[in-house]
Amino acid sequence: MAQPRAATPGLAPEVATLLADHLLAAADDELVLGHRHAEWTGFGPDIESDIALSSVAQEEIGHARLLYQMVLGLQGRSEEEVDRLAFGRPPQAFRNAVLLERPNDGGLEPPPEGEPAWRGEWGFAIVRMVLYDRADAIRLETWASGGHAPLAALARTLAREERYHRLFAETWLERLAGGGPAAAARLQRVLDAVWGEALGLFEATDGEAVLVAHGLLARSSSEQAERWRDEVAALLEGMGLRPGRGPAATGGRAGRHTPDLTALLEEMTSVWRLDPEARW
């Protein structure tokens, strides 16, 4: 087993700790949404979408793994602990934005009489994916222009992969938005419903100002949110949709989650919990 590193070269220990907190939130975002995407395997509207969401899930979970490894490095812990970090924490220790833990039906309406309890709402999945992937691209750019070289290099790699996620999600959004007034109205209803929690993607982790002051993050969460609003507004308006309104619904970055995350973790960690020491 690799020995824990004492410190990260070039970073003061307290700054390394804050950067680890910041990256943990991002890793949790990727893992939790990756799990939600994976739930589409076998249930997509067509086989191409099925494969796409499965591939995107594979990548998001892979990205989470790389970020968790970086978190462990910054904390002076061994990368071997990656599964424990991903699967061994209670819900209140997760720092993902609440939007990403929502089930794939978006909680929009209960399934009709006689239908199975789980039902994916494809419009919700696509809207969430579009909103998240735009936010993620801005976050990656923020890391890539920041002063921590290993993070900047990783961010440049992830950004090139994420562009295909955006291509897929935005092509689908355009297709759905062009599906007539009923389809557009349905998408608009999703956008209005999720807007506050989407803004919650930009809730800052504690100590973010220190990371910005040290040049590790090229811009603050509120600056990222500003840019996201402009980009998303232009994208939506080009499709005949409009951004939602209202204030950000925050709490996820501080560990305040919904029962949806408890249920998700219950399922996602069930195999790991059978034997946390098992080697695969």
Partner 1 sequence: MSGGYRLPLTGPVDATPVDARPVDAPPAEAEVWRVLEQIEDPELPLAITDLGLVREVRRDGGRVMVRLVPTYSACPAIEVIRRTVRERVAALPGVEEVTVDLTFDEPWTLARLSARGREQLRTYGLSVPRRTFREPATCPFCGSTDVVLETPFGPTLCRAIAYCRACRNPVERFKPPAD
- Nearby residues of 155 by Cβ (< 8 Å), 6 or more positions away: 140, 141, 143, 144
The answer to whether the CB of 97 falls within 8 A of the CB of 29 is: yes
Nearest residue (CB) to partner 1, 171 versus 222: 171
Determine which residue in the list 22, 37, 65, 148 makes contact with partner 1, applying CB under 8 A: 65
d(CA 219, CA 249): 21
Our finding on whether 59 is near partner 1 (CB under 8 A) is yes
Nearest residue (CB) to partner 1, 210 versus 239: 239
Q: Per the structure block, which two tokens stand in for 261?
A: 């995350």
Contacts by 76-82, CB closer than 8 A, 24 or more apart: 76/4, 76/5, 76/6, 76/7, 77/4, 78/1, 78/2, 78/3, 78/4, 79/2, 80/1, 80/2
Our finding on whether 216 is near partner 1 (CB under 8 A) is no
Name residue 131's amino acid.
L
**CB of 62 vs partner 1, minimal distance in Å:** 2
Our finding on whether 174 is near partner 1 (CB under 8 A) is yes
**CB of 204 vs partner 1, minimal distance in Å:** 26
CA dihedral over 172, 175, 180, 185, signed as positive or negative: positive
Our finding on whether 278 is near partner 1 (CB under 8 A) is no
Our finding on whether 169 is near partner 1 (CB under 8 A) is no
Our finding on whether 48 is near partner 1 (CB under 8 A) is yes
Our finding on whether 78 is near partner 1 (CB under 8 A) is no
User: What distance lies between CA 50 and its chain's CA centroid?
Assistant: 19
Our finding on whether 194 is near partner 1 (CB under 8 A) is no
Our finding on whether 87 is near partner 1 (CB under 8 A) is no
Determine which residue in the list 160, 182, 246, 277 makes contact with partner 1, applying CB under 8 A: 160
**CB of 65 vs partner 1, minimal distance in Å:** 8
Residue with tokens 């998700």: 264
Q: Which helix (H) or strand (E) holds 140?
A: helix 122-144
Nearest residue (CB) to partner 1, 174 versus 223: 174
Number of residues counted as binding partner 1 (CB under 8 A): 33
Our finding on whether 63 is near partner 1 (CB under 8 A) is yes
Name the segment binding partner 1 (CB under 8 A); options: 14-22, 158-166, 200-208, 264-272: 158-166
3-class DSSP string for 62-123: HHHHHHHHHHHHHCCCCHHHHHHHHHCCCHHHCCCCHHHHCCCCCCCCCCCCCCCCCCCCHH
Nearest residue (CB) to partner 1, 62 versus 147: 62
Our finding on whether 141 is near partner 1 (CB under 8 A) is no
Q: Per the structure block, which two tokens stand in for 258?
A: 């919904």
Determine which residue in the list 52, 129, 190, 265 makes contact with partner 1, applying CB under 8 A: 52
Our finding on whether 79 is near partner 1 (CB under 8 A) is no
Our finding on whether 68 is near partner 1 (CB under 8 A) is no
The answer to whether the CB of 19 falls within 8 A of the CB of 72 is: no
- What single DSSP character describes residue 147? S
- Positions touching partner 1 (CB under 8 A) are 46, 48-49, 51-52, 54-56, 58-63, 65-66, 150, 153-154, 156-158, 160-161, 163-164, 167-168, 171-172, 174-175, 178
